[in-house]
Amino acid sequence: MAVDADSLRMWIDALSDLSAEAIETAIRGFNRECTDYPTPAAVRRFAGPTDEQRATAAWRVVRREVARCGAYCRIEFDDPIIHAAIRAIGGWVALCNTQHDEMPWREKAFVSHYQSICHSGIGQFSPLTGLTLDNQPLTKIATGLLPHAAVQRLVQHENESVHHGLLSSIHCSAQGVPGT
């Protein structure tokens, strides 16, 4: 059965926030469980959690690690979107120093930023540095979340930013202007 351009655009739009792996998993799950013709909504049900569900699950892991590691830790979650969302709400140290009664507000901000980063793919995803020396080993944290499609966009955006910064420095050096 041929797919027309409008149908293809609809499918792409409906599934654009999913990684290729999530789409493949969803289609396999749909084919295994269903007998009717697939719709984007039906396929999405097999694709795993929504961005909001991911953000909520990520927040649970973050809260656990705040209690376990605290501000004196260099930390790397296997979901780099967490790093970008934590930076967006003030950073690791500020989060670790948040009073208990302020945590619901931090959660709300984290979930909102996490979802925005999933959508935009823009943020800084490098590991989080606490109140410690840079040579302290990273504490690596497994979240249990599958990679999100935004992770590739995050990597691409950060690489472009680094590349742009290097080009600016080279240009300034060539012009005799002190680098930034």
Question: Out of 122-126, 139-143, 150-154, 162-166, which region has the weakest mean confidence (pLDDT)?
Answer: 162-166
pTM of the model: 0.68
User: For 113, how many CA atoms within 13 A lie in the half-sphere containing its CB?
Assistant: 22
d(CA 96, CA 89): 11
Whether residues 136 and 56 share a domain: the answer is: yes
Whether residues 151 and 109 share a domain: the answer is: yes
d(CA 126, CA 69): 18
d(CA 109, CA 93): 16
Whether residues 61 and 99 share a domain: the answer is: yes
Residues with Cβ < 8 Å from 108, sequence gap 6 or more?
none
Give me the number of domains the chain comprises.
2
Whether residues 33 and 93 share a domain: the answer is: no
Within a domain: residue 176? no
Give 71-111 pLDDT, tens digit per residue: 999 999 999 999 999 999 999 999 999 999 999 999 999 99
Q: Which among 20, 28, 67 has a CA at the least distance from the CA of 46? A: 28
Per-residue pLDDT, averaged over 1-22, amounts to 83
Give 147-171 pLDDT, tens digit per residue: 776 776 555 555 565 545 555 555 4
Residues with Cβ < 8 Å from 142, sequence gap 6 or more?
78
Amino acid occupying residue 19 = S
Domain enclosing residue 149, as ranges: 51-161
